[in-house]
């Protein structure tokens, strides 16, 4: 938490199927470039980082459910909807029911292609539903008005396959600013049954952000960063860290 005084894009065009048929496309052999006696072909360098472009659409759609949280007089943080009317963030953001009371949950706090801020929508928390766990550093709270119906929500996966050195993506409000995502240097450096440590960039204000694998599947709740101990070895490393969703699910009450 940072302390302070918070679609799809249809393709338009035509394709002349009389010139190129689907069968013809499938039969095309990829070309290489011949230079003298040598043949140069494209290569996968190390790990295959190619992904379908639809992953970008999935990122945009999922990002709608990530919110900017303002706790009046205390600070700002990030959270995300996990049901039409349920928000998840860190315990250190909402340590108690009273801390969560009357927090402002802001959707769509982001910039458009022209660099202009979009119109936001604000909702209030309803602490009639509240649960927290300090050890796993998570809290859930109801949001009045069920904004997840409009803005979407992230389903809690039943499993979270996480391993070194996979990449992760974190959609966040770093420094309390407009919504952002870290797209490079995202390698997982350590994982156990509860903790995931990674090199993905965050800032104060990113607390409570969702952490995704490179298929945009929710795997962790981001909660801290800096010189952190690696649980299995005790050695200290400069990393960021999240709590695995599978560990949170074992503790979370059955509210869905």
Which token pair is 12? 């338009």
Range(s) of the chain covered by CATH 2.40.10.10:
56-151, 168-251
Those residues with Cβ within 8 angstroms of residue 194's Cβ, 6 or more apart along the chain or in another chain: 136, 231, 243, 244, 247
Is 168-251 a domain of CATH 2.40.10.10? yes
Pairwise CA distance, residues 96 & 252, whole Å: 16
Say which CATH topology domain 56-151 has.
Thrombin, subunit H (2.40.10)
Ordered per-residue pLDDT tens for the chain, 256 residues: 654 433 433 434 443 444 455 555 455 566 555 555 556 667 887 777 778 888 899 999 999 999 999 999 999 999 999 999 999 999 999 999 999 998 999 999 999 999 999 999 999 999 999 999 999 999 999 999 999 999 999 988 877 788 999 999 999 999 999 999 988 889 999 999 999 999 999 999 999 999 999 889 999 999 999 999 999 999 999 999 999 999 999 999 887 6
Those residues with Cβ within 8 angstroms of residue 205's Cβ, 6 or more apart along the chain or in another chain: 1, 2, 76, 77, 78, 172, 173, 174, 175, 176, 177
Pairwise CA distance, residues 36 & 119, whole Å: 58
Q: Is the peptide bond before 165 cis (omega within 30 degrees of 0)?
A: yes
pTM of the model: 0.83
């Amino acid at each position: 938490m940072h302390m302070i005084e918070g679609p799809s894009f249809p393709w338009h065009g035509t394709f002349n199927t009389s010139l190129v048929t689907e069968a013809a496309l499938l039969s095309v052999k990829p070309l290489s470039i011949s230079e003298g006696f040598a043949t140069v072909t494209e290569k996968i360098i190390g790990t295959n980082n190619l992904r379908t472009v639809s992953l970008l659409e999935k990122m945009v759609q999922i990002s709608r459910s990530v919110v900017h949280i303002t706790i009046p007089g205390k600070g700002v943080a990030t959270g995300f909807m996990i049901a039409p009317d349920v928000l998840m963030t860190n315990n250190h953001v909402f340590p108690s029911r009273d801390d969560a009371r009357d927090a402002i949950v802001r959707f769509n706090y982001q910039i458009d292609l022209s660099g202009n801020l979009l119109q936001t929508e604000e909702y209030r928390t309803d602490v009639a539903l509240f649960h927290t766990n300090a050890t796993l550093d998570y809290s859930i709270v109801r949001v009045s008005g069920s904004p997840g119906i409009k803005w979407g929500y992230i389903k809690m996966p039943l499993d979270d396959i996480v391993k070194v050195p996979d990449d992760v993506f974190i959609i966040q409000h770093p420094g309390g600013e407009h919504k952002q995502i870290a797209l490079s240097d995202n390698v997982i450096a350590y994982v156990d049954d509860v903790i995931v440590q990674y090199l993905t960039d965050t800032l104060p204000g990113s607390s409570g952000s969702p952490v995704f694998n490179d298929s945009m599947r929710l795997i962790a709740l981001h909660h801290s960063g800096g010189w952190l101990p690696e649980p299995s070895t005790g050695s200290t490393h400069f990393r960021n860290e999240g709590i695995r969703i599978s560990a949170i699910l074992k503790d979370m009450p059955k509210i869905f």
